[in-house]
Structure 1
Amino acid sequence: MIENTGTPISATEARVHFGEVLQRVAQGETLVVERGGRAVAVILSVEEYERLRKAPKQQEILDALWRPGQEIRSHLQGPISSREEVIRAMREERTLELGGS
């Protein structure tokens, strides 16, 4: 579902006033084209399109957030059951790095 961040415009209005539509979009406005009261397209500037195209994809963000947890799980060689367990494991690792036993 499209967020209501663009100005709604009917498909007929967009077709009839296409020059004006292009001017509005060039000035930074985003238009949501509706047909029968339903959003069917979005018209936006090339700059906004490029910004969106270069933005990290949702899956890339989720993967980046998931990766540290996976590394911690593999390091602990099993599932994490509690915060206390994670803290204990971190303390043990720090103690080993500092040369303790």
Structure 2
Amino acid sequence: MIEDTGTPISATEARVHFGEVLQRVAQGETLVVERGGRAVAVILSVEEYERLRKAPKQQEILDALWRLGQEIRSHLQGPISSPEEVIRAMREERTLELGGS
């Protein structure tokens, strides 16, 4: 019998109990198969595999952020203000709105 959820299983155990492995994976469990004490494979449901396949990759996200930064800079036609400068400008604007000098 394969041990509890989250416990890695040996390659031999996965082979011998393959029907049970498929059943557990179909119920949403992810199993890590080890050979010689080292993780060599992961068995997961088709749904989880598809979710992971469709998830944006870290590099894609960084590239999109970089492109967005480039777009913002081109619209501003100059360097982006530091957070301190933005806060100072907001405070000055608020002071003027409140009738201060």
TM-score (norm 1): 0.66
Cα distance in 1, alignment partners of residues 70 and 100 from structure 2: 27
Unaligned runs of 5+ in 2: none
> Structure 1 residues 89 and 71 mapped into 2: Cα distance closer, same or farther (>3 Å)?
farther
Alignment coverage as a number of residue pairs? 101
> Structure 1 residues 5 and 26 mapped into 2: Cα distance closer, same or farther (>3 Å)?
closer
Q: Is the 8 A contact 1:7 1:30 kept in 2?
A: no
> Structure 1 residues 88 and 12 mapped into 2: Cα distance closer, same or farther (>3 Å)?
same
- Percent identity of the aligned residues? 97
Cα distance in 2, alignment partners of residues 53 and 37 from structure 1: 27
Q: CA deviation digits over 1:39-80, x for unaligned, max 9?
A: 111000111111111111222211222222122334455655
Which stretch of the first structure deviates more once superposed, 80-89 or 9-18?
A: 80-89
Cα distance in 2, alignment partners of residues 47 and 21 from structure 1: 16
Structure 1 position 4, deviation (Å): 14
Match of 1:82 in 2: 82
* SS, match of residue 62 in structure 1: helix
TM-score (norm 2): 0.66
Structure 1 position 12, deviation (Å): 1.0
Q: How does 1:35-50 map to 2 (within 5 A)?
A: 35-50=35-50
Q: Which has the larger radius of gyration?
A: 2
